[in-house]
Amino acid sequence: MSVTLNRRTILGLAIGSLIASVFPAAAETFPERTITLVVPFAAGGSTDLVSRLVAASMSKTLGQQVIVENVGGAGGNLGAGQVARAEPDGYTILMGTVATHALNPLMLKTKPYDPIEDFAPVSLLVLVPNVLVVNPQLPVNNVKELIQLLKDNPDKYSYASSGNGTPLHLSGELFKSMAGVTMEHIPYKGSGPALNDVIGNQVPIMFDNLPSSSGHIKAGTLKALGVTTKERAPSFPDLPTVAEAVPGYETYTWNAFFAPAGTPPEVVARLNEAAKAALADPEVIARMKDFSATIVGSTPDELASHVKAEIQKWEPVVKSTGVTLD
């Protein structure tokens, strides 16, 4: 009997040693195949632009392709929910935003995922200003003139956003509340389709992420009235802030990588390293500077703290606007 027990003990120790050695080795060889980066919005918006830029650089670092998959709809919830339910192996990750990890969880009556429990934070990548833009045919040249136009013509004008519950939607609702004006909200399945209709003058007004609108502003196909951050954007130093006309107004978005909860820490660390390497890429730095995105490159723990702080910050704002989603 003692011989059998000794053999079992030895076998158990051998298996334990094998498991301990194999899993770190697997993490060291990660990735061994293509990684899918889910962007929970349609192509063409700010999140999509940042995702493709960072993914291309990460592909070089990791030696495997990081491909972007756009899963738009439900204000980012469809794509975020898909990643929350994905295999926690690091091969499916999410480009999360303030919408997916703060605003939507606060506004949704039925929550398809928990923004804290269902994800493994990887890295906070960038902070992105929003911008108030209008079709050039709209007879206004600044925020004060827009406010006056809306007050003189109540319920006549509408504004586009990238979807219900997105930061751009909330930016519009907060503006309406603080400026004392009315506009009908027209939600789209992403910033790209919304921008197309604003440029085509189907909808005259939009709050957009500055990166996706910057080219159109420079080309003159959109007229920028103000950025939504406290300070003016370095890439558009002559463009006033909305707060200069509406004191206290401020909104912005951010982009961050998340993996499904349960992803091995070694894999999360590898993704974090690759993300930081991409953010140190001179080409990425130059492009981010073009549209005034502030590079962060946090640790997983710092991103976890950021998400909790964002939820606490936006909760009273969401309650004050009364926005809820089914």
Q: What is the mean pLDDT of the chain?
A: 90
What CATH architecture does domain 32-128+253-321 belong to?
Answer: 3-Layer(aba) Sandwich (3.40)
What average pLDDT score do residues 23-38 get?
A: 82
254 and 268 Cβ atoms separated by less than 8 Å: no
Cα–Cα distance, 137 to 18 (Å, whole number): 69
8 pLDDT higher than 80: no
What average pLDDT score do residues 182-210 get?
A: 94
Secondary structure element (H or E) that encloses residue 198, with its range: helix 191-199
Cα–Cα distance, 125 to 17 (Å, whole number): 37
pLDDT of residue 179: 96
Cβ count within 10 A of residue 82: 19
Cα–Cα distance, 257 to 274 (Å, whole number): 11
Largest Cα–Cα distance in the chain? 94
Q: What percent of the chain has pLDDT over 90?
A: 68
The ranges assigned to domains in the chain are 32-128+253-321, 129-244
The CA-CA-CA angle for residues 120, 318, 229, to 5°, reads 80
pLDDT of residue 21: 47
Cα–Cα distance, 273 to 281 (Å, whole number): 13
Instruction: Specify burial of residue 168 (Cβ count, 10 A radius: 0-12, 13-18, 19+).
Output: buried
What's the pLDDT band for 189 if we cut at 50, 70, 90? confident
Q: Where are the beta strands (DSSP E) in 24-91?
A: 35-39, 66-70
β-pairing verdict for 294-295 and 205-209: unpaired
79 pLDDT higher than 90: yes
16 pLDDT higher than 70: no
What's the pLDDT band for 34 if we cut at 50, 70, 90? very high
Span 125-179, pLDDT tens digits: 999 899 999 999 999 999 999 999 999 999 899 999 988 777 888 899 989 999 9
85 pLDDT higher than 90: yes
Cα–Cα distance, 220 to 259 (Å, whole number): 39
What's the pLDDT band for 291 if we cut at 50, 70, 90? confident
Do 32-128+253-321 and 129-244 show the same overall fold?
A: yes
What's the pLDDT band for 25 if we cut at 50, 70, 90? low
pLDDT of residue 20: 46
Name the pTM for this structure.
Answer: 0.77
Q: What percent of the chain has pLDDT over 70?
A: 92
Cα within 13 Å of Cα(272), Cβ side: 21
Domain 129-244 coded CATH 3.40.190.10: yes
Cα–Cα distance, 235 to 268 (Å, whole number): 33
